[in-house]
Amino acid sequence: MIVGKQKPFEEIWNMVKDFKKVLVYGCNTCVAICHAGGGKEAEIIASMIRIKAAEEGVPMEVKHAGIERHCEPEYFEPLMEEVKTYDLVLSTACGVGVNFLSERIGNIPVYPGINTEFFGAVPQAGVFTELCAGCGNCILHLTGGICPIARCSKSLMNGPCGGTNKGKCEISQEVDCGWYLIVERMKQLGTVDKLYAIQQPRNWSTARDGGPRRVVLAHIQDLEEEEAKKES
């Protein structure tokens, strides 16, 4: 799921302080689970803004709302009319949600209330870890189920660099060396010999480097193409 982290309140305040009517708009899926931007957090942020506004003597109307998901337009619809009555929407959805709403809301600005971090797992309550970088070309079958792109700081493909140190990465003692984990795991699986195969230089065009990505299901693509033909 998408992991987000609330922005420092000072930053939020600077974004919203010049507006008169603000909606803090939460998304009740991924960012809710990571306690960053669900309806509950939206409510808390709204309260904090109201308190701050009162302290600063700034007249401001702040409300909150939350919907199931900000990345699908159908969820917006029932609330869209009301949302459009605000001067500013502070979205606590992930960056996807902010973009998505911004495209649909007309003349009202949509600002981000959280920083979107990564997509990750929840190993224990309140802890979120990045295990996949979404590169568009998965090789986990070659690396013992541990991703060198997400978990090696340098995204190396052919073993660790010289900075590996007793299982830790040179960037921090807190960060495991991804390649150390890969080797240990493959020893355990008895597949270390796979590592002797040299990985060719990688084609990063499937990842962010290839520009904004779009996935369209094959049958939909066919439909789209048909439509396009008809129109032309």
Partner 1 sequence: MSDKLSSNKKGSVLVVGGGIGGMQASLDLADSGFKVHMVQKEPSIGGTMVMLDKTFPTGDCSMCMISPKMVEVGRHLNVDIHTLAEVVSVEGEEGNFRAKIRLAPRYVDPAKCTGCGECEAQCPKKVPSEFDQQLGNRKSIYALFPQAVPNTRAIDDRYCLFLTSRKKGAKKDVCKKCEKACKAGAINYDDKGQEIEVNVGSIILAPGLDRYNAKVRGELGLGRWPNVVTSLQFERILSASGPFKGEVKRPSDDKHPKKVAWIQCVGSRDPHNANPWCSSVCCMYATKQSIIAKEHDKHIEPAIFYMDMRAFGKDFDKYVERAKNEYGVRYQRAMVSAIREDPGSGDLVLRYAAEDGSLIDETFEMVVLSIGFEPHKDAAEFAKTFGIEPNVYKFAKTSPLNPVETTRKGVFVTGTYQGPKDIPDTVMQGSAVAGEAMALLSEARGTETIKKELPPEKEVLGEEPRIGVLVCHCGINIASTVQVEQVVEAVKDLPGVVYATNTLYACSQDTQETIKQLVKEKNLNRLVVASCTPRTHEPLFQETIRDAGLNKYLFDLADIREQCSWCHMGHKEEATKKAIRIVKMAIAKSRLQEPIKTDTVGVTPACLIIGGGIAGMTAALSLADQGFQVSIVEKENELGGLVRNLYRTLEGNDVREFLASRIGQVRSHPKIKVFTGTEVRNTDGFVGNFKTTLTDGTEISHGAIILTTGGIEYEPTEYLYKESDRVVTQRELEKKIAAAEVQAGNRYVMIQCVGSREEPNQYCSRICCQDAVKNAIAIKEKDPSAQVFILYRDIRTYGLREDYYKKARELGVIFVRYDVNRKPEVAQSGNGMSVKTWDYMLNRELNIGADWVVLSAGFRPHPTTEKVGALYKVTRNPDGYFLEAHVKLRPVDFPSEGIFVAGLAHAPKNLDETITQALASAGRAGVVLSHDRLAISGIIAKHRKDLCMSCLSCFRVCPFDSPYIGEDGKVAHNEVKCHGCGICAAICPAKAFQVNNFRDDQILAMIDVAVECDTSVAGG
The footprint of partner 1 (CB under 8 A) covers 28-29, 32-35, 38-41, 43, 46-47, 50-51, 53-55, 57, 59-63, 122, 124-125
Q: Give me the least distance between CB of 87 and partner 1, in Å please.
A: 13
Distances, alpha carbon 206 to alpha carbons 2, 146, 169, 178, in Å: 20, 19, 27, 22
Q: Give me the least distance between CB of 54 and partner 1, in Å please.
A: 4
Q: What is the DSSP code (8-state) at residue 190?
A: T
Q: Give me the least distance between CB of 68 and partner 1, in Å please.
A: 10
Nearer to partner 1, 115 or 191 (CB): 115
Nearer to partner 1, 93 or 146 (CB): 93
Q: What is the DSSP code (8-state) at residue 199?
A: P
Q: Give me the least distance between CB of 73 and partner 1, in Å please.
A: 21
Distances, alpha carbon 100 to alpha carbons 68, 70, 205, in Å: 14, 7, 24
What is the rounded CA–CA span in Å between residue 142 and residue 228? 40
Q: Answer for the pair 37, 6: CB distance below 8 angstroms, yes or no.
A: yes
Nearer to partner 1, 35 or 202 (CB): 35
Nearer to partner 1, 62 or 135 (CB): 62
Count helices and strands in the chain by DSSP H and E runs: 8, 9
